[in-house]
Amino acid sequence: MGLNLSRATDIPLYSSDRLAQLAGNGCLVLTPNNESMKALFAEDEVSYFSDEKELIEKIKQFTKDDVAWRTTAEAGWRRAHSDYNEQRVAKFVVEAAFGNDFSNNYKWLFTSLPAGIIKSQAS
């Protein structure tokens, strides 16, 4: 299990690279409930919590249920490797830097970039 806490809680999609590292390495990720983050990871891919009490409960539940935490961790691992791998992120950076049309459905686009920045989006 890995805990993804960040000081900034008012910035949509903000997280350190810790989230990608934890999920990408197959850890069960516990992270604060943030609606914008659900655009990146579904509730069956990471475990969201609202407060300290819920976090403690989730830790206790997952500690007792090996199948549940492994299933969630694997789903997060699959999402991290399919949507946030080095090739997709590098392609996005190049396309954005050179003002090219975006060739992929980058999940982070519509919640992270100011209106008017996005030129096109492949289906």
Q: What is the pLDDT of residues 57-115, one digit of tens each?
A: 999 999 999 999 999 999 999 999 999 999 999 999 999 999 899 999 888 876 555 55
How many domains is the chain partitioned into structurally? 2
Residue 32 · residue 48 · CB < 8 Å: yes
State the residue range of the domain holding 52. 2-84
Phi, psi angle pair for 37, to nearest 5°: -65, -25
12 and 68 share one domain? yes
62 and 80 share one domain? yes
Q: Determine how many CB atoms are found less than 10 A away from the CB of residue 46.
A: 26
- pTM metric for this prediction: 0.82
**Does residue 56 surpass a pLDDT of 90?**
yes
75 and 90 share one domain? no
Which residue in the block uniquely carries the two structure tokens 């549940």? 68
95 and 73 share one domain? no
75 and 98 share one domain? no
Residue 38 · residue 108 · CB < 8 Å: no
Residues 27, 7: Cα–Cα separation, whole Å: 21
**pLDDT attached to residue 122:** 47
Q: Is 120 helix (H, G, I), strand (E, B) or coil?
A: coil
Q: Which of 89, 80, 71, 69 is nearest to 24 (CA)?
A: 80
Q: What is the rounded end-to-end Cα distance, in angstroms, of the chain?
A: 34
